[in-house]
């Protein structure tokens, strides 16, 4: 068996996926320190799941390319949900200016604010 295959207790696999993460409306937000922070956090988040690894990572102005090895025990959709959700939350917590422009308040909060102003 070559080194390109990985082994679990009952399976041998080679599952590599090319994943592209784009911000809302493909805004060009990945500049300078935001791009570097996003790169670091994507690698950290991928290592939180067992046996997942990042093979290639490239950050462009309006998207992130990842080539990942994901074991068959994880659904690709759940890995994407985890990665995109956690990465966006970490970016919004660290860079508050992103949250004001790219993250709208939930509908209930908007209605309450509008109602409170009219009274």
Q: What is the CATH number for 30?
A: 3.30.70.1290
**The pTM of the whole model exceeds 0.85:** no
Q: Per the domain annotation, does 1 fall within a domain?
A: no
Of residues 93 and 100, the one with the higher pLDDT is: 93
Q: Which domain holds residue 32?
A: 15-99
Q: Per the domain annotation, does 91 fall within a domain?
A: yes
To which residue do tokens 């690894």 refer? 53
Q: Per the domain annotation, does 92 fall within a domain?
A: yes
**Count of domains for the chain:** 1
Q: Per the domain annotation, does 106 fall within a domain?
A: no
Among the listed residues 75, 77, 92, the one whose alpha carbon sits nearest the alpha carbon of residue 41: 92
Q: Per the domain annotation, does 64 fall within a domain?
A: yes
Are 36 and 85 in contact by the 8 Å Cβ rule? The answer is no
Please report the pLDDT score of residue 103 as a whole number.
62
Write out the H or E segment, with its range, that includes residue 53.
strand 53-59
Please report the pLDDT score of residue 15 as a whole number.
92
């Amino acid at each position: 068996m070559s080194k390109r295959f990985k082994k679990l207790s009952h399976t041998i696999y080679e599952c590599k996926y090319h994943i592209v993460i784009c911000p809302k409306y493909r805004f060009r937000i990945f500049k300078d320190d935001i791009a570097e922070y996003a790169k670091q956090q994507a690698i950290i988040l991928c290592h939180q799941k067992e046996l997942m690894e990042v093979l290639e990572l490239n950050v462009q102005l309006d998207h992130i390319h990842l080539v990942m090895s994901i074991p068959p025990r994880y659904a690709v959709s759940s890995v994407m949900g985890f990665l995109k959700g956690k990465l966006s939350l970490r970016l919004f917590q660290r860079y508050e200016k992103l949250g004001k422009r790219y993250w709208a308040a939930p509908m209930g909060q908007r209605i309450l604010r509008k109602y409170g102003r009219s009274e």
